[in-house]
Structure 1
């Protein structure tokens, strides 16, 4: 399953160099992952209601090109691995400067989330509902 989350770069997200400020990529990834999680059948509010939360413990960003104001942008989210208490995702920020242009990969992000008890913030196993939903996305 391929999941794409559209993003419209806002003028306020552009820095003095004329490109998206690096911190905004992580905000976009958080929004995209939340939508991806819902798409696999386990929306974030359901997980919280089940007493489980997730926290980022690692994020890495590799830049190939910059996103500029006015670019068309989408984030492709993929499940890479589900462990006992953690999950690893790959997010590719894709851009094109116009509707007739080809998509190109701008930034590749790796995210590692750890599942925690929603009140104690201690590690807990990845909920079966989330693990099963993510497993179904692997080709």
Structure 2
């Protein structure tokens, strides 16, 4: 299980009404992804030296707003594993209240072309999916 990523909402992340601007949810998912990959025993620098994961697609679904002064927590979990891809769900919360769910699909690449996950990486991703 990955350690959740957490941060206070900074003033710069908000609009004039004190509501978090939508692009910051993607930044927070990216921050949480580093912890998630590392929790699988795949630190980003080591993983990217072997296969270069890139974000192929992102979706965001909001339920409520995070605001200036809140502290957000982001949990990550694998949702789907393909031959060259993995979809990870990032749930952004303030306390127990879900604000947004971000889904990023990462594709393993080599030389700019999609490539199957190395066997040991696939095993770790499969274990994360099963634990999920």
Answer yes or no: same fold by TM over 0.5.
yes
* Counterpart residue number, 1:100: none
* Counterpart residue number, 1:27: 27
CA distance in 2, matches of 1:130, 1:19: 38
**Cα offset, 1:13, TM superposition:** 0.6
Whichever structure has more helix as a proportion of its residues is 2
CA RMSD in angstroms, aligned pairs only: 1.4
CA distance in 2, matches of 1:114, 1:29: 16
1:31-86 deviation digits (Å, cap 9, x = unpaired) = 11121001110111111222x11111111111100001111211010001111000
**Cα offset, 1:109, TM superposition:** 1.1
Gaps of 5+ in 1: 97-102
**Cα offset, 1:2, TM superposition:** 5.3
Q: How many residues align?
A: 130
Gaps of 5+ in 2: none
TM-score w.r.t. structure 2 length? Answer: 0.91
TM-score w.r.t. structure 1 length? Answer: 0.86
